[in-house]
């Protein structure tokens, strides 16, 4: 039998526990490269539970930790709540939360920050320090001191009023960039931890490889290939130079990036572009163009596999880990046997006869 799930509701700034409540209709996901989400319904069977829920559920101020048995599986900020009454008068509260990184989408840069020949990890940590050193801004996100070995120059202007989340994503998504996320776990002493996780060029975790077979623990899979976003030529637009009032204002543009190998192999020319309206340095803009081209050349190929959790050891700790996927069916008459990295997962807890299951999102290792 699957261990029970429960919500710990805490004060976002102090992490002091406010209450612990059961949850139904639970759904959660987490990813590398984009925010994760959690939704669920808290039943309100009586006045005492209603009073507790009213006190603990404060969107924008309440932190949510999700426990599965004794393990901590998810953490984030409670952003919305909706009191619901059905036609029989049964009350419940629907809640939705986002992983800790969604907090950075609600924080803006009100001061100019400059970094010269600084490791990109240190720039990322400096942005987090800016957030948490402002009054009321410290929500307890920690980090280590590892470096990437890649030095960058960056100037972030307060006049652009950028979101800190956007600055981190732009810093990461360049040539020789990195991945980042904020992980939730318990440390060796049992304390709840929010940890900025950085990996160059990718985040990789775990040592033991998990083997997933279909037929077997893999109940079903989807293998989408989407070329609508594929490109093999790319150019970025940067900031507009308005210093000369007598001349037309035109944006800075990157060097045109062309994947000549694709054309040589028979691919048609497919163009793409992106805008970085605050970037004033051509070398930085060229780095963005190279990074965007590398992502666009592959198109979108994110295999999804649905896992029976009673037959395979699946948990949020798999994010960044390597799995060996083996599939044999009509499409793969010669068994597919390849390694992939887990870049996302969504978990559906058991409920009313529905088994506990997980969906893993993979990329080539």
| Cα radius of gyration rounded to whole Å, the chain | 23
**Residue 204 maps to a domain:** no
Q: Is residue 252 part of a domain?
A: yes
Q: Is residue 237 part of a domain?
A: yes
Q: Could you tell me if 219 and 328 lie in one domain?
A: yes
Do residue 157 and residue 34 come from a single domain?
A: no
Same domain, 286 and 314: no
Q: Is residue 262 part of a domain?
A: yes
Last residue of a domain, one of 99, 121, 154: 99
Q: Is residue 205 part of a domain?
A: no
Identify whether residues 33 and 68 lie together within a single domain.
yes
Domain shared by 242 and 183, yes or no: no
Q: Which residues pair with 67 in a beta bridge?
A: 6, 72
Question: Is the domain of 318 the same as that of 214?
Answer: yes
Bridge-based pairing of strands 322-327 and 210-214 is: parallel
Q: Record the tokens describing residue 184, joined without a space.
A: 């939730």
The gap between the terminal CA atoms of the chain, to the nearest Å, is 33
Domain boundary among 40, 71, 99: 99
Secondary structure in 3-state letters for 269-329:
CCEEEEECCCCCCHHHHHHHHHHHHHHHHCCECCCEEEEECCCCCCCHHHCCCEEEEEECC
Same domain (yes/no): 50, 84: yes
Domain containing 36 equals: 5-99
Q: What is the CATH number of the domain that holds 41?
A: 2.30.300.10
Residue 91 located in a structural domain: yes
Same domain, yes or no, for 140 and 31?
A: no
354 and 252 within one domain: no
We report the CATH number of the domain holding residue 354 as 2.40.450
The pLDDT of residue 250 is 86
Report the C-alpha gap between 141 and 155 in whole angstroms.
24
Helix (H, G, I), strand (E, B) or coil at 19: strand
**Contact status, residue 168 vs residue 124, Cβ threshold 8 Å:** yes
Question: pLDDT value at position 192?
Answer: 96
Q: What is the pLDDT of residue 3?
A: 81
Q: What is the pLDDT along the chain (365 residues), one digit of tens a residue?
A: 678 888 999 999 999 999 999 899 999 999 999 999 999 999 999 999 999 999 999 999 999 999 998 899 999 999 999 999 998 989 999 999 999 999 999 999 999 999 999 999 999 999 999 999 999 999 999 999 999 999 999 999 999 999 999 999 999 999 899 999 999 999 999 999 999 999 999 999 987 788 999 999 999 999 988 889 899 999 999 988 766 666 677 899 999 999 999 989 999 999 999 999 888 889 999 999 999 998 898 777 789 999 999 888 889 989 999 999 999 999 999 999 999 999 999 998 887 777 888 999 999 87
Evaluate whether residue 85 is within a structural domain.
yes
Q: How many structural domains does the chain have?
A: 4
Tokens of 55: 């006190």
Nearest to 259 by CA among 280, 285, 281, 290: 290
Q: Which of 280, 297, 314 is the last residue of a domain?
A: 297
Task: Return the CATH number at 160.
Answer: 3.55.50
Rounded distance, CA 27 to CA 327, Å? 27
pTM of the model: 0.89
With 0-12 / 13-18 / 19 or more C-beta atoms within 10 angstroms meaning exposed / middle / buried, residue 117 is exposed
Whether 348 and 218 share a structural domain: yes
Same domain, 215 and 311: yes
Same domain, 321 and 352: yes
Residue 58 lies in a domain: yes
């Amino acid at each position: 039998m699957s261990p029970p799930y429960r919500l710990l509701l805490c004060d976002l700034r102090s992490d002091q526990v406010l209450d612990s409540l059961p949850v139904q209709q639970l759904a959660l996901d987490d990813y590398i490269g984009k925010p994760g989400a959690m939704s669920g319904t808290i039943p309100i069977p009586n006045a005492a539970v209603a009073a507790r829920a009213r006190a603990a559920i404060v969107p924008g101020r309440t932190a949510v930790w999700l426990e599965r048995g004794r393990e901590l599986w998810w953490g984030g900020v409670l952003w919305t709540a909706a009191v619901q009454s059905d036609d029989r008068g049964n009350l419940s509260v629907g809640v939705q939360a986002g992983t800790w990184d969604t907090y950075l989408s609600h924080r803006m840069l009100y001061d100019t920050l400059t970094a010269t020949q600084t490791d990109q990890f240190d720039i990322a940590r400096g942005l987090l320090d800016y957030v948490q050193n402002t009054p009321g801004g410290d929500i307890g996100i920690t980090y280590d001191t590892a470096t990437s070995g890649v030095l960058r120059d960056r100037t972030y202007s307060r006049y652009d009023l950028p979101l800190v989340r956007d600055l981190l994503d732009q810093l990461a998504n360049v040539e020789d960039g990195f991945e980042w996320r904020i992980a939730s776990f318990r440390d060796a002493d049992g304390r709840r931890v929010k940890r900025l996780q950085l990996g160059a060029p990718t985040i990789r975790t775990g040592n033991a490889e998990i083997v997933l077979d279909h037929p077997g623990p893999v109940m079903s899979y989807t293998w989408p290939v989407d070329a609508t976003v594929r490109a093999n030529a790319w150019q970025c637009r940067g900031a507009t130079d308005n210093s000369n009032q007598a001349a037309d204002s035109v944006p800075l543009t990157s060097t045109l990036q062309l994947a000549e190998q694709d054309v040589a192999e028979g691919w048609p020319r497919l163009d793409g572009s992106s805008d970085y309206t605050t970037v004033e340095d051509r070398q930085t803009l060229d780095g963005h163009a190279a990074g965007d081209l590398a992502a666009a050349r592959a198109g979108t190929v994110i295999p999804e596999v649905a896992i029976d959790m009673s037959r395979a050891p699946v948990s949020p700790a798999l994010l960044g880990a390597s799995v060996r996927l083996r599939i044999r069916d009509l499409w793969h008459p010669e068994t597919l046997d390849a390694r992939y990295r887990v870049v996302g997962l969504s978990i559906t807890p058991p409920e009313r006869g529905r088994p506990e299951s997980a969906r893993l999102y993979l990329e080539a290792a």
